[in-house]
Amino acid sequence: MSTMHSARLLITCADRPGIVQAVSSFLYHHGANITALDQYATEATGGTYFMRVEFGLDRLHDAIDVIRRAFGETVATQYDMEWTMTLVRDVKKVGILVSKFDHALLELLWRWSRGLLPCEITQVVSNHEDLRESVERFGVPFTVIPVTKTNKVEAEQQIQQQMAGNDLLVLARYMQILSEDFVSQWHHRIINIHHSFLPAFVGADPYRQAYDKGVKLIGATAHYVTADLDQGPIIEQAVERVSHRYSVTDLRELGQDVERNVLARAVRWHLEDRVIVHGNKTIVFD
Amino acid sequence: MSTMHSARLLITCADRPGIVQAVSSFLYHHGANITALDQYATEATGGTYFMRVEFGLDRLHDAIDVIRRAFGETVATQYDMEWTMTLVRDVKKVGILVSKFDHALLELLWRWSRGLLPCEITQVVSNHEDLRESVERFGVPFTVIPVTKTNKVEAEQQIQQQMAGNDLLVLARYMQILSEDFVSQWHHRIINIHHSFLPAFVGADPYRQAYDKGVKLIGATAHYVTADLDQGPIIEQAVERVSHRYSVTDLRELGQDVERNVLARAVRWHLEDRVIVHGNKTIVFD
Amino acid sequence: MSTMHSARLLITCADRPGIVQAVSSFLYHHGANITALDQYATEATGGTYFMRVEFGLDRLHDAIDVIRRAFGETVATQYDMEWTMTLVRDVKKVGILVSKFDHALLELLWRWSRGLLPCEITQVVSNHEDLRESVERFGVPFTVIPVTKTNKVEAEQQIQQQMAGNDLLVLARYMQILSEDFVSQWHHRIINIHHSFLPAFVGADPYRQAYDKGVKLIGATAHYVTADLDQGPIIEQAVERVSHRYSVTDLRELGQDVERNVLARAVRWHLEDRVIVHGNKTIVFD
Amino acid sequence: MSTMHSARLLITCADRPGIVQAVSSFLYHHGANITALDQYATEATGGTYFMRVEFGLDRLHDAIDVIRRAFGETVATQYDMEWTMTLVRDVKKVGILVSKFDHALLELLWRWSRGLLPCEITQVVSNHEDLRESVERFGVPFTVIPVTKTNKVEAEQQIQQQMAGNDLLVLARYMQILSEDFVSQWHHRIINIHHSFLPAFVGADPYRQAYDKGVKLIGATAHYVTADLDQGPIIEQAVERVSHRYSVTDLRELGQDVERNVLARAVRWHLEDRVIVHGNKTIVFD
C-alpha cells in the first residue's frame, strides 16, 4: 500500500492515554490520510509505547517540513516522543560491506535490481578483489579496501570516508570486526547477518559448531551491530531442518539459503521503517 | 494484554479519511484507553476499511451501554459502519459438534480446561455415543443426537434446540452435512475443520486423495461454514511435510496433529474477536 | 558423500525376498563399495519395490560397462527389474526453457555457477528476447524461438532440434504449453515449476486465484510434465504463510521465492538420481 | 510398515566394504525378509558405519534367539559390531517423571492411549501430587516421591526402585536434576524435553531468557540425559515464530505446544529403534 506519495511516522514514548487520538487528530487536521497504523505497548499500563503510521501526502495542507515542525512542537513535545517522519520518496542510501562469500550480497543486489528493495545501493566495499565483476555488472561501484593486522585503523577510516552519506550499512558476510568507535558512528544503522540462530553459536565458524553439537536445525540471524560482537538487537531469524547426514559443507550450503532470505527481509523492513530498537530488542511492525 | 476489564470494537466500512481520528477521539473523550489497534484497507483509496480496537474500561466515564449507544449514534452513523463492541468479560458460549474422532475435540477441551480458550464450552453434541466419557470428565454435558437417512430434519431441529443460546458452534470433525437452512441461522458462527489444504481435496476422504495424488505436504483448513460445502471463508491453514513413505494411515495420523492446531488457533481468534469476514475471505488481526 | 568416482543404481521391481541380498552381493563381488542405500516398498508384502544404491568405483574389478552388462544379465533378469546404473562423472546435460520471468532461471544459473547443481547447463531457450543478457553473462548460450498462434508446430520442432542431446529439460516459468507429442519424447525428463500448491489452483494465474480464495498459505510445486497439464508426478512442494494484507503482487513476490527453492531442489534431486516415478507419483530418496 | 511380526537390527561398527552384503545375506539365508533398511557412514571411507534393518519374522527358519546368537557369532564378530536385535512384539516399558506441568505428560499419555506410541507406560512418578487425577484416568499408576533439599539421595533411590524394570525413562518437564550416579544407570535411556532451542538458553527459565534476548523464534529440544546438564545428545528440535508482541507467558504457552510435539516425536523414534547415539550426537533413521 505504500506509495511514493506517502510518509512514515515512527514514535517511541512513555505510554499514556490519548496518544492515538492526538496523533491521528494531528494528521487528520493537516490533511494526511492514514493508510497503515501499528502500535505496541510493553505493558498494559505504564510501559513504553511504540507506533508506526503511514500516511498519504496527496491532500496535505502544508509542505511536509511545515508539518514535521508542527508535529515536533505540538504532539511530540506534549508526549515527550522520540520520533522520525520520513518520506517514502526520500529513498535511503545503502552501502554494502562484503568479503568473499557472494550469496548474501547477490541476493540483495538481485532483489534491488528487480525493485524489491526500496533503496539506492550506492556502493559495495570489500577487503578482497574477488566479487568485483559480480557487483559491477549490476552497475554498482566496487571498492577494495584491504584490511591487514597493521592497517585496521586506516582501513576503517577509508571505509568511513567511502561510506559517508549512506543511511544504512549492510554487512553481507563481511569477515572483519568493526571497532567500537566505527560502530558508534552508525548507531543502529549497520545490519549484520550472522550464520547461526543466535544466541547459539556466537563467534567463529558456527556451522562447524552446529555440526559438532549435532543440532537438528540450523539458522541465521540478522541484527543491528553494536559494540558487543553478535549481541546486537535481533531483527529477524529463521531456521531449516537438518539431520545427521549433513556434513559441515552441507550445513553451510543450506545455511547460506537461510542467510540470504533472513538478511533480505531484515534490510527490507529497515528500509520500510518497520523496525524500532528498544533497549537490546526490536519492535518489528511487519 | 487483553484483560477482563477491556472491550473490543470491530468495524467495517467504506474507506474515507478521518476514521482513525474519529474512532480514537470518541474513545478518548469517553475515557477509554486504547491498548491495541489494527486496521486494514483493501485498496490505497476507495476500498473497504476494517478496524479492530481493544480498550480498557477502568476509567470509562459512562456505562458501556451508554458508550455503545453513543458510538452507534455518532461515529458509526457518520461513517456508515458495520460494527460490534463486545466486553471481554462477556465470555462467549461455545457448543461443539463431533462424531467419532476425538483429536480435535480433546485439543479444544484440553486448552479450554487450561484457560487457553477464552470461552464457556457449554456442551458437546454427537451423533454417536463413543466420546461420552472423554467429554464428561471435563465436566461438559454430552448429548447424543443420532442422525439417520430418514431423520435428518428432526435431528437438526434437536441440535438447534440443544445449541440455542450459544455464540459459536465448532464442528470438531462432525461428519454430517448441515442443511442450508441450519447454516443460515448461524451466519459466520460455525467453524469447521477440514482435513486438507483447501481448495485442494474438497469432499470425502482427503487423506486418501492426497495419497493418490502423491503430494509432498498435507494440511488442514479451519473455515466458517456456509451453504457451499468446504467453500466458506478460510480462517487458518497449516501444512506438514510428508513423503512417499507415508501410508494413508500415516497421513491421517500426522494430519490430525495439524487439524488440532489449526482448529484451536481459528477458534481462539474468533473468540478474541480477531476475525472479520469480508465477502468470502477473512481479515484476521492476529 | 557422492564423489566423481561413484555410480548410482536405481531399481524398480515387484517386491520379493532377497533383493537387498542379491544386489549387495553382486556389488560386493564386483568390488563395488556401497556408500548409500535407500529402499522402499509400497506394501508390507507383495507390493512394488524401489531401491537406490550409491557405490564407489575405486576398487571395481571390471569396467563399469562389464558390470552393467553383468547386472542386467543376472540380478536384474532374475528379479525382472527396471533399472538404471549411472556414473556420477557422466554429468547430465540440462536445457532450460523460459519466458520473461527470471527468478527461477537465475536461481538455477546461480546455483549451477557455484557448483551446487551437478550438471552442465547447455543452453537456455526462450520465446522472448528479454533475458538474453542475464543468461549470457553466465556463459550459457541463449536462443530465442518465438511462439505465435500459427507457428506452434514449427516452434516445437525448433526447440526439439535445439534441445536434442540434453538429458533433462527444465521449464523455469515457460509460459507456453508443450504438445502431447513433444512431451512424450521427453518422458519424465521435463521438470516444470507450477506457481501454486497443486492440486489447488491449476491453470492460469494461480496467485490471483489464491488471492480470490483468501488462502492463508501460498505454495509452489515442481513436477514432471505429462500430457495432462499440471497433473504430472509431483517431485517437491513448499508453502509460505500469507495474510489478508498480501495483494496479488505481494503473493507473486513471495511466491517467486518459494518457486526458486522448490524448483532448485527438484532439479537437484533429479540430477542426483534420487527420483523414481511410479504411476503418477514419485519416490524421492532425499 | 512395521508389524508385530517383525524385528529390528541396529548396528554400529567401523566402516568396511561388504557390510550390507554380509548382513543382508545372513538375514536372507535365515528366512528374514528385509522390509526397511537405512544406513549412514560418517566418512566416504574409513569412518563409522550405522545401520538399521527391519525384517519380517513370518518365514524365519529358526527361533529369534537362535538367529540372534548366530548373528553375534558370525557377522557381528567378523565386523566387530555393537548391535541390538529387538522384536517389535517385545513392547518397551516406559516410566515417566513429571513435576507440575501437564502438557508434555498428557500429550504422551494421549498418544499412547490412541495407539500412537508403541510402548507400555508403566507408571508416572512425580515430586508433587497435582497431576494424580490426570494420570490415573488413563489407568496408569501415579506415585509421589517428594524431593527436598535434604532427601535427594533417598528420593532418587526410591525413584530407582519404582522405575526398575523399565526400558526408558521420560522426563516430561521433571524439574529436579538427576544425579550423575542415577543417570549413569540409565545410559542413553532417559529422554528429557528442554524448553529451548539448545544450545541457546541452557539452564533455568529459558522462556524468560528468550524474552530478554528478543529472539524471533522459540524452540524445544528433546535429548538424552547425560551427566552434563542440558548437554546430552540431541534427538529432535523444533521452533515457532514469535514477535515482540509475545510476553513471557505467551512464549511459554506457544513453547509448550512445541515441547509436546518434539518430545512425542523423540520418544516415538526411540521406541521404534530409530536412534543410535554416536559420541555426543545422534543418528536418527526417521
Can you tell me the mean pLDDT for C240-268? 96
Residues A73 and A99 occupy one common structural domain = no
- B150-173 pLDDT tens trace: 999 999 999 999 999 999 999 999
Are the CB atoms for B185 and B166 separated by under 8 Å?
Answer: no
Is A29 a residue whose pLDDT tops 60? yes
CA distance A76 to chain B (A): 17
What's the mean pLDDT when you consider all of chain A?
95
Residues A170 and A240 occupy one common structural domain = yes
Q: Whole domain around residue A74: which residue ranges?
A: 3-87
* CB of A198 less than 8 A from some CB of D: yes
Please give the single-letter amino acid code of residue A144: V
For residue A129, the domain's CATH number is 3.40.50.170
Residues of chain D in contact with residue B116, where contact means CB-CB under 8 angstroms, are: 253
Cell of D34: 528385509
Q: In terms of DSSP bridges, do strands B168-171 and B92-98 run parallel, antiparallel, or are they unpaired?
A: parallel
pLDDT for the residue numbered D230: 87
Residues C184 and C246 occupy one common structural domain = yes
Can you tell me the mean pLDDT for A95-113? 96
How many residues appear in chain A? 286
Per-residue DSSP letter, B231: -
Query: What are the beta bridge partners of residue B84?
Result: B10
Cell of A19: 496518544
Of C87, C114, C135, the last residue of a domain is C87
Residues A53 and A133 occupy one common structural domain = no
**Test the A interface: residue of D201, D202, D217 with most A CBs within 10 Å:** D217
Residues B248 and B165 occupy one common structural domain = yes
**CA proximity to B2, closest of B90, B126, B103:** B90
What is the number of structural domains in chain A?
Answer: 2
Cell of B153: 430434519
What is the torsion angle, in degrees rounded to the nearest 10, for the CA atoms of residue B88, residue B93, residue B99 and residue B105? 30
For every residue of A246-259, DSSP letters joined together read: --HHHHHHHHHHHH
Phi, psi of B269 (to 5 degrees): -65, -40
**Test the B interface: residue of C12, C40, C197 with most B CBs within 10 Å:** C197
Residues D48 and D118 occupy one common structural domain = no
Residue C94's SS3 state is strand
CA distance B98 to chain C (A): 25
**Test the C interface: residue of D5, D6, D33 with most C CBs within 10 Å:** D33
- C-alpha to C-alpha distance for A55 and D155, rounded to whole angstroms: 65
- Rg (alpha carbons) of chain C, rounded to whole number: 21
Residues C62 and C102 occupy one common structural domain = no
Can you tell me the mean pLDDT for C237-256? 95
Number of cross-chain residue pairs from A and B with Cβ atoms under 8 Å apart: 55
At how many degrees (to 10) do helices D248-271 and D103-113 cross?
40
Task: Pick the range with the lowest mean pLDDT from B193-202, C116-125, C155-164.
Answer: B193-202
What's the ipTM? 0.93
How many CB atoms are located within 10 Å of the residue A90 CB? 10
Cell of C99: 519466458
Of A70, A87, A104, the last residue of a domain is A87
How many residues appear in chain D? 286
pLDDT for the residue numbered A230: 87
Residues C147 and C235 occupy one common structural domain = yes
Are the CB atoms for A47 and A41 separated by under 8 Å?
Answer: yes
**CA proximity to D283, closest of D15, D35, D46, D51:** D51
Residues of chain A in contact with residue D200, where contact means CB-CB under 8 angstroms, are: 197-200
Cell of C77: 533378469
How many residues appear in chain C? 286
- The pTM of this model reads 0.95
- A184-234 pLDDT tens trace: 999 999 999 999 998 999 888 999 999 999 999 999 999 999 998 889 999
Residues A128 and A245 occupy one common structural domain = yes
pLDDT for the residue numbered A45: 83
Half-sphere exposure of residue A194: CA atoms within 13 angstroms, side-chain side: 26
Task: Give the model's confidence band at B1: pLDDT under 50 very low, under 70 low, under 90 confident, else very high.
Answer: low
Residues of chain A in contact with residue B1, where contact means CB-CB under 8 angstroms, are: 41, 44
Is A1 a residue whose pLDDT tops 60? no
* CB of B106 less than 8 A from some CB of D: yes
pLDDT for the residue numbered D1: 53
- C-alpha to C-alpha distance for D77 and D56, rounded to whole angstroms: 23
Is B3 a residue whose pLDDT tops 80? no
* CB of B280 less than 8 A from some CB of C: yes
Cβ distance D253 to B116 less than 8 Å, yes or no, reads yes
Cβ distance A34 to B24 less than 8 Å, yes or no, reads no
Cell of D63: 527361533
Residues of chain C in contact with residue D41, where contact means CB-CB under 8 angstroms, are: 1, 35
Distances in Å between the Cα of D53 and the Cα atoms of C19, D7, D38, D84 are: 14, 8, 7, 11
**Test the C interface: residue of D21, D23, D49, D217 with most C CBs within 10 Å:** D21
Cβ distance C59 to D17 less than 8 Å, yes or no, reads yes
**CA proximity to C75, closest of C31, C21, C39, C33:** C21
Of C58, C87, C116, the last residue of a domain is C87
For chain B, what is the largest distance between any 2 Cα atoms, rounded to a whole number of angstroms?
64
Cβ distance D56 to C44 less than 8 Å, yes or no, reads yes
Is B137 a residue whose pLDDT tops 80? yes
Residues of chain D in contact with residue C17, where contact means CB-CB under 8 angstroms, are: 28, 33-34, 59
Is D81 a residue whose pLDDT tops 80? yes
- D28-67 pLDDT tens trace: 999 999 999 999 999 888 899 999 999 999 988 889 999 9
Is D161 a residue whose pLDDT tops 60? yes
> Which ranges in D1-129 belong to alpha helices (H)?
19-29, 64-73, 75-78, 103-113
Per-residue DSSP letter, D131: T
- Rg (alpha carbons) of chain D, rounded to whole number: 21
Residues B182 and B215 occupy one common structural domain = yes
Which residue among D25, D39, D44 places its CB closest to the CB of C37? D39
For residue B18, the domain's CATH number is 3.30.70.260
Phi-psi region of A188 (alpha: psi -120 to 50; beta: other; left: phi over 0): left
Residues of chain A in contact with residue B59, where contact means CB-CB under 8 angstroms, are: 17
Which residues 1-60 of chain C have a CB within 8 Å of chain D? 1, 3, 17-18, 20-21, 24-25, 27-28, 33-39, 41, 44-45, 56, 59
pLDDT for the residue numbered B85: 97
- Sign of the torsion angle spanned by Cα atoms B199, B202, B205, B210: negative
How many CB atoms are located within 10 Å of the residue C174 CB? 26
Residues of chain D in contact with residue B114, where contact means CB-CB under 8 angstroms, are: 103
Phi, psi of B58 (to 5 degrees): -60, -35
pLDDT for the residue numbered C181: 95
Cβ distance A28 to B18 less than 8 Å, yes or no, reads yes
- D6-30 pLDDT tens trace: 999 999 999 999 999 999 999 999 9
Is C2 a residue whose pLDDT tops 90? no
- C-alpha to C-alpha distance for C162 and C141, rounded to whole angstroms: 11
Walk across the sheet containing C82-87 and list its strands. Answer: C33-41, C48-56, C6-14, C82-87
Task: Pick the range with the lowest mean pLDDT from B195-199, D3-7, D158-162, D274-278.
Answer: D3-7
Residues B115 and B253 occupy one common structural domain = yes
Catalytic-labelled residue, pool B38, B102, B230, B257 = B230
* CB of A125 less than 8 A from some CB of D: no
For every residue of A182-239, DSSP letters joined together read: HHHTTTT-EEEEESSSTTTT-SS-HHHHHHHHT-SEEEEEEEE--SSTT-SPEEEEEE
Are the CB atoms for D80 and D49 separated by under 8 Å?
Answer: no
Distances in Å between the Cα of A1 and the Cα atoms of A8, A37, B52, D23 are: 12, 12, 19, 64
Q: What b/e sequence results for A111-137 when a residue is b if at least 16 CB atoms lie within 10 Å of its CB, and e otherwise?
A: bbbeeebebebbbbbbbeeebeebbee
Residues A219 and A115 occupy one common structural domain = yes
Cβ distance D217 to A233 less than 8 Å, yes or no, reads no
- Closest residue in C to A252 (Cα) is C116
C286 is catalytic: no
Query: What are the beta bridge partners of residue A53?
Result: A9, A37
- Closest residue in A to B32 (Cα) is A17
Walk across the sheet containing D48-56 and list its strands. Answer: D33-41, D48-56, D6-14, D82-87
- Closest residue in A to D202 (Cα) is A200
Cβ distance B281 to C214 less than 8 Å, yes or no, reads yes
Can you tell me the mean pLDDT for A60-76? 95
Query: What are the beta bridge partners of residue B86?
Result: B8
Task: Give the model's confidence band at C61: pLDDT under 50 very low, under 70 low, under 90 confident, else very high.
Answer: confident
Residue A271: partners with Cβ closer than 8 Å, 6 or more residues away: A92, A94, A117, A118, A119, A168
Residues of chain A in contact with residue D199, where contact means CB-CB under 8 angstroms, are: 200-201, 213, 215
Residue C163's SS3 state is helix
CA distance D55 to chain B (A): 17
Percent of chain B residues past pLDDT 70, beyond the cut: 99
Quote the strand ranges of chain C, DSSP E.
6-14, 33-41, 48-56, 82-87, 92-98, 119-126, 142-144, 168-171, 190-194, 217-224, 234-241, 275-278, 281-284
**Catalytic residue annotation of A:** 230
- D93-152 pLDDT tens trace: 999 999 999 999 999 999 999 999 999 999 999 999 999 999 999 999 999 999 999 999
Is B285 a residue whose pLDDT tops 70? yes
pLDDT for the residue numbered C166: 98
